[in-house]
């Protein structure tokens, strides 16, 4: 049993190990952020199961956990393939705990997380000696059953004000709430912000602005999930390199 990261989208960003395990697998269980271009390249002997469909067809986490255990107990070679890195907001930890509780041996194969890869391909370095010495990755979309935000917005705002970079995953729909939270906790309106949509896919797009303008930029461009939002001065580095990057 292998919990494998597929990277942000471009099949060439898969690790060699991931590719070897995928081609040798009996079953590949994947979620919605994995590109068909990759799955189409697998040998016919591999049974590909989409467990990441949108509701109402979505397979519940409990069902996925049970499928993984059942297949592994049958002796099948199973790859659980997840977008980006399995352990960055991918519920890989929950699946790992479930496998461990069922005594199923498994291995984790890291992937290029969109948290790092999306800003990277858009020309935004997460750290920079001149303007950012730390990176914080958060979810912009908390589980609905939480009464209060599990995020400490005071601390997040402090990070940005003191020059750190904030990366928000799953933050497209709640962009305005997150922008308001940062502003309310003292982050200046002119702080640079960028959104990178579908990084490394054919329809990759990036918009940038400031905390004051990013919502309008997002609306104007029609930015949809999946996208990564980056807040901090590193966003400005993109303007210095963009011409060469796009060439
Ligand atoms: N495990 C994944 C993240 C899963 S959460 C990883 O490490 O990348 C899903 C969120 O990831 C999306 O809402 C979006 O914020 C981000 N994401 C995944 N793929 C992306 C891509 N190609 N471009 C931009 N954002 C992406």
Domain boundaries, the chain: 2-109, 114-241
- 73-83 average pLDDT score: 96
pLDDT tens-digit series, residues 204-228: 999 999 999 999 999 999 999 999 9
Give the pLDDT band (50/70/90) at residue 245: confident
Respond yes or no: is residue 130 known to be catalytic.
Answer: no
Domains 2-109 and 114-241 share a fold: no
pLDDT computed for residue 144 by the predictor: 47
First-last CA distance in the chain? 42
Which of these CATH numbers, 3.40.47.10, 3.30.460.10, 3.30.950.10, 3.40.50.150, describes 114-241? 3.30.950.10
CA-closest residue to ligand 1 atom 9: 170
CA 139 to chain centre: 9
Residue with CA at minimum distance from ligand 1 atom 13: 170
The CATH architecture of the domain made up of 2-109 is 3-Layer(aba) Sandwich (3.40)
pLDDT the model gives residue 34: 85
Query: Using one digit for the tens of pLDDT, what is the confidence trace for 37-48?
Result: 889 999 999 999
Residue of 33 and 24 predicted with greater confidence: 24
Active-site residue, 1 included: no
CA-115 nearest atom, ligand 1 = 8
Edge-to-edge strands, sheet with 135-139: 135-139, 165-169, 227-231, 192-197, 205-210
Question: Is pLDDT above 80 for 57?
Answer: no
Best mutation site among 228, 229, 231 for ligand 1 pocket (most ligand atoms within 8 Å of CB): 228
Q: How far is the CA of 83 from the centre of ligand 1 (A)?
A: 7
Residue 141 and residue 170 in contact, taking contact as beta carbons nearer than 8 Å: yes
Average pLDDT for residues 183-196, to the nearest whole number?
A: 98
pLDDT band at 147 (very low <50, low <70, confident <90, very high): low
Higher pLDDT, 84 or 143: 84
Give the distance (Å) from ligand 1 centre to CA of residue 89: 8
Cβ < 6 A, ligand 1 pocket: 8-9, 33, 82-85, 88-90, 113-115, 118, 169-170, 196, 198-201, 225-228
pLDDT band at 148 (very low <50, low <70, confident <90, very high): low
Of 50, 66, 170, 236, which is the active-site residue?
A: 170
Residue 54 has pLDDT above 80, yes or no: no
Residue to probe by mutation, ligand 1, list 84, 108, 115, 229, most atoms within 8 Å of CB: 84
Percent of the chain exceeding pLDDT 70 equals 95
CA separation for the pair 227, 232 (Å, rounded): 16
The CA 73 to ligand 1 mean position distance, Å, reads: 31
pLDDT digits (tens, 9 = 90+) for 192-208: 999 999 999 999 999 99
Query: Which of 120, 85, 111, 131 has the alpha carbon at shortest distance from 228?
Result: 120
Determine the pLDDT at residue 32: 87
Query: What pLDDT was estimated at residue 67?
Result: 94
36 is catalytic: no
């Amino acid at each position: 049993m292998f919990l494998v990261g597929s990277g942000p989208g471009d099949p060439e960003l898969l690790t060699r190990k991931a590719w070897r395990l995928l081609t040798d697998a009996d079953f590949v269980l994947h979620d919605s952020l994995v590109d068909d271009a990759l799955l189409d390249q697998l040998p016919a002997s591999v049974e590909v199961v989409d467990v990441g469909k949108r509701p109402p067809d979505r397979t519940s986490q409990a069902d996925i956990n049970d499928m993984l255990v059942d297949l592994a107990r049958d002796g099948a070679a199973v790859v659980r393939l997840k977008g980006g890195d399995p352990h960055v907001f991918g519920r890989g930890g929950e699946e790992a705990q479930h496998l461990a509780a069922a005594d199923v041996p498994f291995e984790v194969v890291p992937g290029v997380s969109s948290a790092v890869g999306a800003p990277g391909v858009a020309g935004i370095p997460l750290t920079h000696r001149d303007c950012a010495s730390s990176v914080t990755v958060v979810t912009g979309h908390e589980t609905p059953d939480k009464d209060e935000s599990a995020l400490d917005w005071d601390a997040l705002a402090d990070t940005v004000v003191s020059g750190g970079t904030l990366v928000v995953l799953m933050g497209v729909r709640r962009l305005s709430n997150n922008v308001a939270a940062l502003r309310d906790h003292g982050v200046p309106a002119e702080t640079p912000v960028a959104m990178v949509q579908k990084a490394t896919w054919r329809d990759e797009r990036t918009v940038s602005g400031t905390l004051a303008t990013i919502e309008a930029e997002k609306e104007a461009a029609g930015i949809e999930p999946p996208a990564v939002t980056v807040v901090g001065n590193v966003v400005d580095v993109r303007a210095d390199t963009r011409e060469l990057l796009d060439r």
